[in-house]
Amino acid sequence: MIFDTHAHYDDEAFDADRDELLAGLSAAGIGTVVNIGASLAGTEATVRLTQEYPFIYGAAGVHPSSTDELDEASFARLRELAAQPKIVAIGEIGLDYYWDEPDRKLQKYWFRRQLNLARESRLPVVIHSRDAAKDTLDLMREERAEEIGGVIHCFSYGKEMAREYLEMGFYLGIGGVLTFKNAKKLAEVVAYAPFERLVLETDCPYLAPAPNRGKRNSSLNLPYVVAVLAQIKGMSEEAVICGTEENARRLYRMG
């Protein structure tokens, strides 16, 4: 079944129909979802979702744009949440120079701290890197992220950068962007990368694939991404679904 490696079902965009939507996922072929923390409150909500739904797992982390909420007390709480039984990763963490707030020094400081939380928790990381290719890679090299492992979520750089991350042992998260008309660069990356390193993600409620681009996204849209991925890789859609599920279980060390 389809494995959505990156969703934000705690987002207020799902407040009106969250339970109904989640209850219908399995009948639509969605087997597993990892809900990703983007803030401390989002991580608390993620843990609650993992307790409520057997097929939901979670990642504990604070998105670079929200790192101004971190201090020693909130970081200690994040560490407690990371130790919850169904938390399978630390994320999403990284650098975001598109919004470029808070300042880069603070983003980098908490990126390092959260990478080291992953190391001490023995969990892989979910990396968010936007318009910050070089600094993300440099910092990950300095912190020896190849020993930690994880996924570059919503991979948005070119083939050269993909090679660097693949050499570090990382997976690439592929979502709705692949279906966009202007996604030539991403299609090249997908063609180039070994299939064993690709995982499916929505980043919902954001980044709905064509033909639903611009609408609220959910895991129900992943078959559109599967279809394009199958075409690029010359595989059947069933093989893409089974294979990316295996990849995701290996990424999140779910046995």
- DSSP code, position 45: H
Q: Position of tokens 């938390």?
A: 87
Question: Of the listed pieces 11-19, 115-123, 165-173, 203-211, which binds Ni ion according to CB under 5 A?
Answer: 203-211
- DSSP code, position 13: G
Please, which of residues 133-152 interact with Ni ion by CB under 5 A? Answer: none
Which C-beta is closer to Ni ion: that of 216 or that of 238? Answer: 216
Question: Of the listed pieces 66-74, 83-91, 185-193, 202-210, which binds Ni ion according to CB under 5 A?
Answer: 202-210
Which C-beta is closer to Ni ion: that of 38 or that of 144? Answer: 38
From the list 121, 58, 120, 122, the residue with the least C-alpha distance to 91 is 58
Q: Is 246 helix (H, G, I), strand (E, B) or coil?
A: helix
Cα-Cα-Cα-Cα torsion 227, 240, 164, 110, nearest 10 degrees, comes to 90
Handedness of CA 88, 127, 38, 33 (dihedral sign): negative
Question: Of the listed pieces 39-47, 196-204, 208-216, 231-239, which binds Ni ion according to CB under 5 A?
Answer: 196-204
CA distances from 251 to 3, 13, 228 (A): 12, 28, 22
203 binds Ni ion (CB under 5 A): yes
Which C-beta is closer to Ni ion: that of 96 or that of 203? Answer: 203
Q: How far is the CB of 154 from Ni ion (least distance, A)?
A: 7
Which residues have a Cβ under 8 Å from the Cβ of 164 and sit 6 or more positions away?
A: 137
Which C-beta is closer to Ni ion: that of 203 or that of 245? Answer: 203
Question: Of the listed pieces 54-62, 133-141, 175-183, 198-206, which binds Ni ion according to CB under 5 A?
Answer: 198-206
Q: Which two tokens stand for residue 172?
A: 């690439």
Q: How far is the CB of 6 from Ni ion (least distance, A)?
A: 6
Q: How many residues bind Ni ion (CB under 5 A)?
A: 1
Q: How far is the CB of 238 from Ni ion (least distance, A)?
A: 27
Q: How far is the CB of 204 from Ni ion (least distance, A)?
A: 9
Q: Is 16 helix (H, G, I), strand (E, B) or coil?
A: coil
Residues that bind Ni ion (CB under 5 A): 203
